[in-house]
Amino acid sequence: MSYTLPDLPYDYSALEPHYQAENLQIHHDKHHAAYVSGANSTEERLSEAREKGDFANLVGLEKTLAFNISGHMLHSIFWKNMSPDGGGAPEGELAAAIQEHFGSFDAFKAQLTQAAVLVQGSGWGALSWEPLGQRLIVQQIYDHHANLANGSTPLLVIDVWEHAYYLQYRNMRADFVNAIWNVINWPDIAARFEAARKNSIN
């Protein structure tokens, strides 16, 4: 199997009161786990299809593969994007790049907050590195993998599927997104920014 569920880098209760332990535990142990098993089972079904030379279900399998790998990817990033010691604002080169590409940290924060809050249905808000323009962009992701700029690398992601917040915040998605800013792990995002900038598209 290619995919395994990563442990959370902190206890279930570590992000309280911003993220309630029960909501976080179900989110990680059940929802994220389902994307991992979905990616592995789809990979197995693709292997069987190749062995049989039967690609009758290929279109559906490819869609399922993209959905589950993308869900696994974004959740894996999301857990590390948060920390009990998080919050505040970025420093150094990441702070300078946000200033350059969005005008100010506050303008960036407002755009990403609204990108997340205004997702119609299930999706994510994301700060991503876009290698063609060599710049940071905010993206509004539908499901786990739609509405993306190809080649962009997610650095900071905010899950706004109802499963992410409904147990704690009910229908108040904006309250959840605003609370998440209090636990954002800026050193993790700065490290992702540094790594992503080394990738170029020619």
Residues in the site for Mn ion, rule: CB under 5 A?
Answer: 31, 159, 161, 164
CB of 144 to Mn ion, least distance (A): 9
Smallest separation, CB 120 to Mn ion (Å):
17
CA distance 30 to 75: 12
Under 8 Å between Cβ of 200 and 152: no
User: To the nearest whole angstrom, how small is the minimum distance from the Cβ of residue 38 to Mn ion?
Assistant: 13
Burial code (b: 16+ CB inside 10 Å, e: under 16) for 24-47 equals bebbbeeebeebbebbbebbebbe
Burial class of 82 by CB neighbour count within 10 A (0 to 12, 13 to 18, 19+): buried
In the bound complex, which residue of the shown chain has the CB atom lying closest to Mn ion? 159
- Of the two residues 126 and 164, which places its CB atom closer to Mn ion in the complex? 164
Rounded to the nearest 5°, which phi and psi values hold at 184? Answer: -70, 130
CB contact burial 136-145 (16+ within 10 A = b; e otherwise): bebbbbebbb
Rounded to an integer, what distance in angstroms lies between the CA atom of residue 156 and that of residue 79? 10
Kindly state the smallest distance separating residue 3's Cβ from Mn ion, in Å: 16
Q: Which is nearer to Mn ion, 19 or 161 (CB)?
A: 161
Question: 159 or 188, CB closer to Mn ion?
Answer: 159
Closest contact distance (angstroms) between CB of 32 and Mn ion is 7
The tokens for 18 are 């911003």
Specify the DSSP class assigned to residue 30: I
